[in-house]
Amino acid sequence: MSGAGGSDDVVVFYPAGKDLAGWARDYGAGARPDAWPYGLNKLAHHVSSVKARNLPRDTAMQGALRRLMRATPPALWRGRGPVGLVWDENSVDRLAAVPALRSRFSGVVWLTDQLATKEPSWLAERRSMLRRMDGLWVLSSAQVGPLQHFIGEDGPRVHHVVFGVDADFFHAAPPPETPLLVSVGGDRDRDAATLFRALARVRHERPDVEIIIQTTSREEPPAGVTLVPHLSHGELRQLYQRASVCVIATRPNTHVSGMTVGLESMATGRPLIITETPGMADYFGGTDGAQMVAPSDADALAAAALRLLNDPTQRQRRGQAARAHVEGGFTTDHLGARVAAVVSV
């Protein structure tokens, strides 16, 4: 890309309600990972100049602008301004209505798991907006084919971008003295039923092991399991660092649900056990730091956790492998380079 301040500048647009100044303050105080959400500040290492801005708030004028955008060809909205990008498809219509951008790019997170459930009119609108982009990226190899088919081979190219986490914030910690199993996450594809069956077995065979889970599930957890509804980033890091092992159960999906928590916990030097869904091997294949098990297999999930809980030497070795795995290709520095390669095409 060209020198700072030139026509190759990049702007990362976040939703109107995202408090970017507050996020930056929290980062400066050591309370959040990365200076911007998703670590996209790391683009600065790979492009001439990058800025973070909020998309406009919804107003009558903005609504009229988006209606005009939908009624006119994308070329009329192209100018000599910066490259614009958004993290996911929920902001793509607003990005499309930002005038004079040289090119536009968006990530796509949820759509491939919505193709079979959303109304045709909703899908048609989403397809129309995505086709106005100059390029798209997904975080799972399992999403590339379905998304490219959905938007059409004559639409923008779909790139596979591997995610990363802030390995400085989620830094390694010494192995804990007291055994603790943790599970974190409450998105739409977490499998609380399978997780709870696995935890009940762990609790039965190792009643001395503390179990803490953060979830939004309304299902009743097994006896002896501590449930927490919400954790700050700092509290989450502390929980990972106290843990002996992290366990994640998900239902089949293509957007690699659980991948962020898996990488964060591994960054702190904790071995991971996670459901093997399509694309999960992009992140957790080829390392002793993680073990994948089949969906809905509570017995396999419990057995893998018990093997680690019963073998401190193996647990420590696998925890070291976990940290090395993240450092080797799954940090936000790596993510910044990958997104930069997409928007530079």
pLDDT, averaged across the chain: 95
Region 231-246 average pLDDT: 97
Return the pLDDT at 6.
38
Question: Looking at the predicted structure, is the pLDDT value of residue 4 above 50?
Answer: no
What's this model's pTM, rounded to 2 decimal places?
Answer: 0.94
Degrees, nearest 5: CA angle 299-303-308: 155
Helix, strand, coil: what percent of the chain each, to 5? 40, 20, 40
- Joined together, the tokens standing for residue 40 give 């996209």
**Amino acid at the residue 53:** R
CB 55 within 8 A of CB 16: yes
Stronger pLDDT, 63 or 210, i.e. the higher one: 210
Categorize the per-residue pLDDT at 219 as very low, low, confident or very high, splitting at 50, 70 and 90. Answer: confident
Return the pLDDT at 218.
84
- Alpha-carbon radius of gyration of the chain: 21
Question: Looking at the predicted structure, is the pLDDT value of residue 7 above 60?
Answer: no
Region 313-319 average pLDDT: 97
Sequence-distant contacts of 111-120: CB under 8 A, at least 24 apart:
111/147, 111/150, 112/138, 112/142, 112/143, 112/146, 112/147, 112/150, 112/254, 112/255, 113/189, 113/253, 113/254, 113/255, 115/146, 115/150
Residue 182's H or E segment, with its range, is strand 180-184
Return the pLDDT at 345.
61
Return the pLDDT at 2.
34
Per-residue pLDDT tens digits for 71-97: 999 998 999 999 999 999 999 999 999
Question: Looking at the predicted structure, is the pLDDT value of residue 143 above 80?
Answer: yes
Return the pLDDT at 202.
98
For residue 331, the 8-state DSSP code is B
Region 262-285 average pLDDT: 98
Return the pLDDT at 290.
99
Return the pLDDT at 308.
98
Question: Looking at the predicted structure, is the pLDDT value of residue 29 above 50?
Answer: yes
Per-residue pLDDT tens digits for 171-216: 999 999 999 999 999 888 999 999 999 999 999 999 999 999 999 8
Return the pLDDT at 236.
97
- Joined together, the tokens standing for residue 313 give 């030497």
Among 178, 181, 171, 182, residue whose Cα is nearest residue 322: 171
Return the pLDDT at 229.
84
Please give the domain boundaries of the chain with CATH numbers for all domains.
10-164+331-343 (3.40.50), 180-329 (3.40.50.2000)
CB 92 within 8 A of CB 86: yes
Return the pLDDT at 232.
95
